[in-house]
Amino acid sequence: MPKGIPNKRYTPEFKKQVVEAVMQDGLSYEEAAKLYEVHGHGRIQSWERIYLEEGPEGLAIERRGRRSTGETERLPSKVEENLLAEVQRLRAENAYLKNLQALVLEEERRQHKKRR
């Protein structure tokens, strides 16, 4: 496809019309692609498969991107426990360092006032 031309999107009604023309009128995928100005006959094949498996409603579903496996990978419970313990320790350390920084700044402010 030439640069600068965005991907063409087809409406569910248009897809249904093309698939039904292939099925009822006996058009080949190539003929239907030329007649309806669809880029690539493989696209019409996939529309027909969806139409036969899910019905016309299936053509309205957006199917872009990678499919999800539906499951997130679980870590072993021991590893998960160790990670949670480390997160807790790091949060405590972070809070301690913030308090220490506040104390140091306060002490510097006091020393600066005494010098005046």
DSSP 8-state assignment for residue 58 = G
- What pLDDT sits at residue 64? 76
Per-residue pLDDT band for 3 (boundaries 50, 70, 90) equals low
**Digit-coded pLDDT (tens) for 8-60:** 788 999 999 999 999 998 889 999 989 998 888 889 999 999 999 888 888 88
- What pLDDT sits at residue 112? 84
- What pLDDT sits at residue 47? 92
Quickly list H helices, the chain: 12-25, 29-35, 41-54, 77-115
- What pLDDT sits at residue 18? 92
- What pLDDT sits at residue 1? 44
Q: Domain residues of the chain, as ranges?
A: 12-60, 76-116
Across all residues in the chain, what is the average pLDDT?
Answer: 87
Largest distance between two CA atoms of the chain? 97
Q: Cα separation of 79 and 71, whole Å?
A: 19
- What pLDDT sits at residue 7? 64
Q: Is the pLDDT of residue 91 over 60?
A: yes
Residue with token string 């498969």: 49
Q: Cα separation of 4 and 7, whole Å?
A: 10
Q: Is the pLDDT of residue 5 over 80?
A: no
